[in-house]
Structure 1
Amino acid sequence: ECYPDTRKISEILDNLVDNSTYDKRLRPKHGAEPVNIGISIHVTSVSAVSEINMDFTIDFYLRQTWNDPRLAFRHYLYGAFENKIDSLTVGIDYLQRLWKPDTFFPNEKKSYFHITTTHNSFLRIDPNGNVFTSQRTGKLLRSFLQSKLTVTATCNMKLQLFPMDSQICKLEIESYGYNVLDIVYYSINSGNSVSKSEFELPQFVLIDLQIASRNVVLSSGNYSRLTCSFLFKRNIGFYLIQVYLPSVLIVIISWISFWLNRDATPARVALSILTILTMTTLTATTNASMPKVSYVKSIDIFLGVSFVMVFSSLLEFAAVGYISKRIKVIERRRKIIHRQLPVSNYFYAMPSTTMNTIIPLYFGECQCPIPPPSPEEFPVEETHKEEYVILFCVIRPSQIDKYSRSIFPLIFLVFNIIYWLYYYSISGKELMDIDTDLM
């Protein structure tokens, strides 16, 4: 097998960048039609998707293709070298001597090229000066400028459905200085211009990748822009284990007070306060890892209702304690009245509202006057407030605890059914709508 002479290849490379025929400061076809820059992306990994910073970080190969007639070297191939060289692949040193598009990412926060063990970029040129994917002699030639980058780009997230949300994060590609009259970006091979390796994210699933081109109007002119859209679906498993399940258990623990004796005040108060503080800590910890948004998230609703359930158990104990205390006070007053009012087999008396005398209800063989009791010793009549409390206490404290054992779990169960059905249906519909818009 015959191999081309390396001296010939070196001569070709030197002639291509001869200063008399090549000026890297000028774009190809300067003054004529714009240069078409084909873009393809292969995503190797998504390092992070951050709600707090509203950004995402990806590692990918960026391939750019274009045609530069000044780099054509077919006329150098003759004799033994004809049809022997399909392409020339050069590294970063030679790349610095060539014109390259000033591609950048408008929505990036930070980015860098990989340089281990050397700068991860190379350029492949075909004999016609085409720096792009082309078909020649029945063989597919991969001629392109390829670089490996890590980019952290902004991602404006909508968190109303968090943690059952889907997010679209976009990576925008544009020329920094050349407008649409100089450079036009397009995606290579249409829908196959974006690909990805097999990888998994801890909190997300990458559902879809799409790329689209458009022109944007800026203060400095019109520019061609490619937008690569990443559709992420959040995994709820982490939040089920770390947030939802603990919240449910805390609410259930707060119901234990309904089975405790109503006279066990220290135990019931301690249990209620402990569950409230635990619920408050869980809510604060969850919100600490979230951005300070002005709207209510779905997880906020669940934590809020759980907190209300825990707090309501404390209010239930307060109501039971208050009613028990009022009953004891009224019963104590009745005992005092009964002790101060003598009752015999022959006399049944009731207080008179018109005079401080005891009117006998039964008249036997003798009638003896009974001196009226002093106002300090005997209350003439109970106030209307006490009568209201007596009527209110028809429901005994033990009955309140008994009803609470059923009502509280039933309310929380109904809430959970409505909550999960509603938000799962909404999140599924949102995912379908977003995916349809991308397609």
Structure 2
Amino acid sequence: MLTKVLLILLGMSIILPSRIEGPHVEWEKGPSAPDDDVYGPKPQASEKKLPSEETKPAAIGTQGTLGKLPAATQILNSILNNYDHKLRPGIGEKPTVVTVELSVNTLGPISILDMEYTIDITFYQTWYDERLRYNGSFESFVLSGNMVSQLWIPDTFFRNSKRTQEHMITMPNQMVRIHKDGKVLYTIRMTIDAGCSLHMLKFPMDSHSCPLSFSSFSYPENEMIYKWENFEVEIHENNSWKLFQFDFTGVSNETETISTQAGDFMVMTLFFNVSRHFGFVTFQNYIPSFVTTMVSWVSFWIKKESAPARTSLGVTSVLTMTTLGTFSRRNFPRVSYITTLDFYIAMCFFFCFCALMEFAVLNFLTYSWRIPRASPRLRHPRPRALTRPHARQHQEAFVCEIDDSEESDEEEAPSCPAWQSLSPRSTRRHGGCCRWFKKYLCVVRSCKGSIWQQGRLFIHIYRLDNYSRVVFPVSFFFFNVLYWLVCLNL
């Protein structure tokens, strides 16, 4: 009996562990099968396991990156620990050589009235500082503008600048790059309003060289030297669109030494050469002046009896030229010399004024020949007894002929008044010949003869408009030809 009980207990002890262990084994092997055969989301156990597996490489990479940052910080701290930014490199041994390069972002506009121009540049300065040498895997460090105050920077200033703006958006537009061998590159962007002395004598066919000069403010030539790295400053149309009336023609440079009370300073100057294209000035000044001058000649085809029409046309032309001359100087510097445009407008004003004076001379000479008729009662003879010597002289002074028109002159006068003016009687009464030029010049009324007679030049009064119709256009034409040949070849 006891033996049976022991056998039953032994069998139960064998069966129970197998039942408990069986499901546990199946649970461990069960989830592994779907990884190879089933597509879809993985069980929860695998999801917990994968993040742990992905985190391990990231932790290793972060540990490597964090390993370089302390090295860079250590290098910067080591080179800046005993660095004195108040002293220039190589002080007391040799001058500091600063290599300069310049990039033009935009050029213009050029203000003629203020004699200045605007330029937006990126300024590069390079020098060697032995105190900034280091050993390490980094070839260079790029530092933001906040680190500029901790380094020595050349005190370069622009000598002909009136206003200078440093760009601060979104951060100060300046950068420092430190190389392994101690080379330092300092870059800054700025907009400068620089003075430019414009010589406007040839305006509007003028060309200018606008300078941009810079030097050290406190270091003389024996302590700091400037030199160009590679002098290639190219300004394309996209960078010079603000020049408006000017065309960019090129860049030149110049290096000089200026002596001051503080010492001899090296000055570097960059010249931006521009030339004006005068299309705007042509439409605003030349064409209106040319047309106004030709309009003043219309009075030569108007009858001399129409005094109001000819006078108003002449006065209007003169006033128009005065307005054009004033308008051309409105946006112009107050210089003491005249420009080529001023000379052209002055000549057009002269032609308009001469056209007005032509009618005044014609009107004066025409009506100066008219002698008032005597009263009809003076023509009746008086008794000899009542005639006195002084009365006879008074009668002879007023009893004379009158010519009110060309027709009457042609009927009563000789065939050519020019010949008549040579006679003593005509010279005494009419004064046909000019007092100053009576030897070679004579002004007469209408004449059918030639202009040159009896060794004198006869100006026919009634033909004065005919002369002007030819003389004025021909003179103005030759003036324009000579003017443009001289101005375009200067």
**If the TM-score is normalised by the length of the shorter chain, which range does it land in?**
0.7 to 0.9
Residue aligning to 1:158 = 199
User: 2:480 aligns to what SS in structure 1?
Assistant: helix
Alignment partners' CA distance in 2, 1:197 and 1:10: 42
Q: 1:281 corresponds to which residue?
A: 323
Distance 1:197 1:382, change over 3 A: closer
Using CA pairs below 8 Å that are at least 6 residues apart, which structure has the higher relative contact order? 1
Q: Does 1:176 align with 2:217?
A: yes
Partner in structure 1 of residue 299 of structure 2: 257
> Which shifted more, 2-11 or 105-114?
2-11
Instruction: Give, in whole Å, the separation in 1 of the partners of 2:220 and 2:141.
Output: 30
Q: Look up the match of 1:35.
A: 96
Distance 1:65 1:116, change over 3 A: same
Distance in 2 separating the partners of 1:107 and 1:24: 28
1:18-167 equivalences in 2 (<5 Å): 18=81, 21-73=82-134, 75=135, 77=136, 82=137, 85-131=138-184, 144-167=185-208
Is 1:196 the counterpart of 2:259? The answer is: no
Amino acid at match of 1:404: S
**Letter of the structure 1 residue corresponding to residue 75 of structure 2:** I
Shift of 1:10: 3.1
Q: Is the 8 A contact 1:108 1:154 kept in 2?
A: yes
Q: 1:273 offset after TM fit, Å?
A: 1.0
User: Does the CA contact (< 8 Å) of 1:16 and 1:22 recur in 2?
Assistant: yes
Q: Percent identity?
A: 29
Q: Tell me, yes or no, if the aligned pair for 1:44 and 1:197 is still in contact at 8 Å.
A: no
Residue 445 (structure 2) pairs with residue 393 (structure 1): yes
CA contact (8 A) 2:110 2:117 kept: yes
Inter-partner Cα distance in structure 2 for 1:36 and 1:396: 84
Equivalent position to 1:416, from 470, 476, 480: 480
TM-score (norm 1): 0.78
Tell me what 2:336 maps to: 294
Could you tell me how far apart the structure 1 residues matched to 2:398 and 2:208 are?
77
Structure 1 residues 373 and 253, CA gap change in structure 2 (3 angstroms): closer
TM-score between both structures, scaled by the size of structure 2: 0.71
Is the alpha carbon distance of 1:115 and 1:376 closer, same or farther for their aligned partners in structure 2, counting shifts above 3 Å? same
Q: Is the 8 A contact 1:40 1:188 kept in 2?
A: yes
> Contact between 1:166 and 1:234, CA under 8 Å: does it hold in 2?
yes
State the partner residue of 2:9.
Answer: none
- 1:179, 1:222 within 8 Å by CA — same for their partners in 2? yes
AA in 2 matched with 1:151? I
Structure-2 residue corresponding to 1:378: 399
Q: Specify whether residues 103 and 387 from structure 1 end up closer, same or farther in structure 2 by C-alpha distance, changes over 3 A only.
A: closer
Q: For residues 46 and 68 of structure 1, do their structure 2 counterparts lie closer, same or farther at Cα, with a shift above 3 Å needed?
A: same
Q: Which runs of 5+ in 2 are unaligned?
A: 1-60, 382-387, 402-424, 434-441, 447-458
Secondary structure in 2 aligned to 1:99?
A: coil
CA distance in 2, matches of 1:88, 1:286: 57
Distance 2:378 2:297 in 1: 44
**Consecutive unaligned residues in structure 1, runs of 5 or more:** 132-143, 344-354, 357-370, 427-439
Q: Structure 1, residues 314-364: CA drift from partner, whole Å, max 9, x if none?
A: 00111111122224x23x53xx48996689xxxxxxxxxxx98xxxxxxxx
Structure number with the higher helix fraction is: 2
* 2:271 corresponding residue in structure 1: 229
Change (3 A) 1:373 1:155: closer
Q: Does 1:217 align with 2:266?
A: no
Structure-2 change in CA distance of 1:385 and 1:377 (3 Å): closer
Maintained 8 Å contact 1:38/1:187? yes
Q: Quick check: 2:445–2:462 contact (8 Å CA) kept in 1? A: no
Residue identity opposite 2:445 in structure 1: C
Per the alignment, in what secondary structure is the counterpart of residue 147 of structure 1?
A: strand
Shift of 1:152: 1.5
Residue 124 of structure 1 deviates from its aligned partner by: 1.5
Deviations, residues 163-184 of structure 1 (Å, cap 9, x unaligned): 1111111111100001112110
Paired residue secondary structure (1:96):
helix
In structure 1, the partner of 2:18 is: none
The CA distance in 1 between the partners of 2:305 and 2:92, in whole Å, is: 94
Aligned to 2:471: 407
In the alignment, is the contact (CA less than 8 A) between 2:443 and 2:461 conserved in 1? no
Pair member with larger Rg: 2
Query: Is 2:68 aligned against 1:5?
Result: yes
Q: Distance in 1 between matches of 2:357 and 2:297?
A: 12
| Partner SS state of residue 114, structure 2 | coil
**Is 2:290 the partner of 1:248?**
yes
For the residue of structure 2 that corresponds to 1:196, the secondary structure is: coil
Question: How far apart are 1:15 and its partner, in Å?
Answer: 2.8
Alpha-carbon contact 1:41-1:195 (below 8 Å) kept: no
Q: Cα distance, 1:196 vs. partner?
A: 2.8
C-alpha distance in 2, partners of 1:244/1:372?
Answer: 62
Q: Distance in 1 between matches of 2:283 and 2:325?
A: 14
Do the aligned residues in 2 keep the contact of 1:109 with 1:153 (CA within 8 Å)?
Answer: yes
The CA RMSD over aligned residues, in Å, is 2.7
Cα displacement string for residues 3-37 of structure 1 (whole angstroms, at most 9, x for unaligned residues): 7833432332333322xx20000001111111101
CA distance in structure 2 between the aligned counterparts of 1:303 and 1:47, rounded to whole angstroms: 29
Q: Tell me the CA shift for residue 157 of structure 1.
A: 2.1
Alignment size in residue pairs: 373
How has the CA–CA distance of structure 1 residues 70 and 339 changed in structure 2, closer, same or farther, with 3 Å as cutoff? Answer: farther
Secondary structure, counterpart of 1:17 in structure 2: helix
> Structure 2 vs 1, CA of residues 374 and 180 (structure 1 numbering), >3 Å: closer, same or farther?
closer
Q: Residues 254 and 268 of structure 2 are in contact (CA less than 8 Å); yes or no, is this contact kept in structure 1?
A: yes
